Amino acid sequence: MTQHLKKAELHCHIEGAAAPQLVLAQARKYNEPTESFIRDGSYIWNDFTTFLHAYDSASKLFRTEEDFALLAETYLTELAEAGTIFSELFVSPDHGEASGLGAEAYIRGLGAGMERARQRFGIESRMTVIGVRHLGAERVIAAAEFAARRPHPLISGFNMAGDERMFHVRDFVPAFDIARDAGLGITIHAGELCGAYSVRDALDYVKPSRIGHGVRAVEDMALVERIRDEGVVLEVCPGSNIALSVFPSFKAHPLRLFVDMGLKVTLNSDDPPFFHSSLAREYEIASTEMGFSDQEINQMTRTAIEAAFVDEETRNRLLQRL
Ligand SMILES: Nc1ncnc2[nH]cnc12
Ligand SMILES: [Zn+2]
């Protein structure tokens, strides 16, 4: 059992953390249909493209600052109740715009929910701004410029998510340069839908301190050794990888190999209710399905705090709590 272990999460999309029950309540509030993407209390999708459609549809049912405050507070409450002391939330200004309230109000609402959860449970959280890859370079640059303006004190990182198969990472170098020059932490989704080359390109062009997933680096052992040697931290999401058929089973997942080779890895839920998961379940999977000891899992939590996009005073305070 891992319920007693302290936890930390670096890779969770806040729109992807919206439970179907909460989305159904929002749909009743706005008198909107949900049959196209929710059935019997579960999201309907069968591949990455239809997953993104369900994700975008759920997100559009959060339309005010209070809606997003409720979303953030609800998710962070679940995390706190599972023993989580730190959470980085991936937030998407483009989804704030698509919901009609605008990026600034979207961020303000999320920040209010994060502060309420901190007051109630002591859970520390930060926001990493997402550029959506399949919207193209201009939109990702706009997201980076938005993040670089630091519209909220809890924004501390920049990331690119969305459809990894679209465009080439070199197209997004200007966006990452803007974010890096603004002092934001840099991570990027790579090696999830696309193979080892995608991870290698991310390292070469973006020089991130962390990579979202990165798990298909296992197709090229020299690349796995490079990740280890360069100390790049992998935000591993086992439940997501199995749900999206990146690997056929937990037994086939490379997390155990990565740990045995000395890579820095962390445990994450990505879009928990979409993948019938949660951070608590990811910790449980690591223990029961992948055979990690409590000590190995605690090291992954420590790695997450050490790689978190936070100031050193906050980092030290969090390490004390482990
Ligand atoms: N697993 C995932 N991969 C890429 N982009 C995403 N956006 C939300 N979840 C994602
Ligand atoms: Zn993700």
Ordered domains of the chain (ranges, CATH): 7-18+62-321 (3.20.20.140)
Gap between the Cα atoms of 6 and 298, Å rounded: 8
213 is in an annotated binding site: no
Q: What pLDDT, on the 0 to 100 scale, is given for residue 84?
A: 98
Q: What pLDDT, on the 0 to 100 scale, is given for residue 136?
A: 98
Gap between the Cα atoms of 202 and 139, Å rounded: 19
Gap between the Cα atoms of 166 and 160, Å rounded: 12
Q: Which of 164, 192, 235, 282 is the catalytic position?
A: 192
Q: What pLDDT, on the 0 to 100 scale, is given for residue 314?
A: 98
ipTM of this predicted structure: 0.96
Gap between the Cα atoms of 148 and 150, Å rounded: 5
**pTM score:** 0.98
Strand order in the sheet with 124-132: 7-9, 84-91, 124-132, 155-161, 185-190, 210-213, 233-236, 264-267
pLDDT, average across residues 48-56: 97
For ligand 1, what atom is nearest to the CA of residue 244? 1
For 75-132, what is each residue's pLDDT tens digit?
999 999 999 999 999 999 999 999 999 999 999 999 999 999 999 999 999 999 999 9
pLDDT, average across residues 131-159: 98
Question: What proportion of the chain, given as a percentage, has pLDDT over 70?
Answer: 100
Pocket of ligand 1, candidates 187, 189, 215: which has the most ligand atoms within 8 Å of its Cβ, to mutate?
Answer: 189
Task: Give residues whose Cβ lies within 5 Å of ion ligand 2.
Answer: 270
CA-based nearest residue to 283, from 83, 13, 72: 83
pLDDT, average across residues 17-22: 98
For ligand 1, what atom is nearest to the CA of residue 161? 5
pLDDT, average across residues 36-64: 97
Q: Which two tokens stand for residue 133?
A: 């890859």
94 is in an annotated binding site: no
Q: What pLDDT, on the 0 to 100 scale, is given for residue 87?
A: 98
Look up residue 276 and give its DSSP letter: T
For 243-264, what is each residue's pLDDT tens digit?
999 999 999 999 999 999 999 9
Look up residue 13 and give its DSSP letter: B
Q: Any catalytic annotation for residue 192?
A: yes
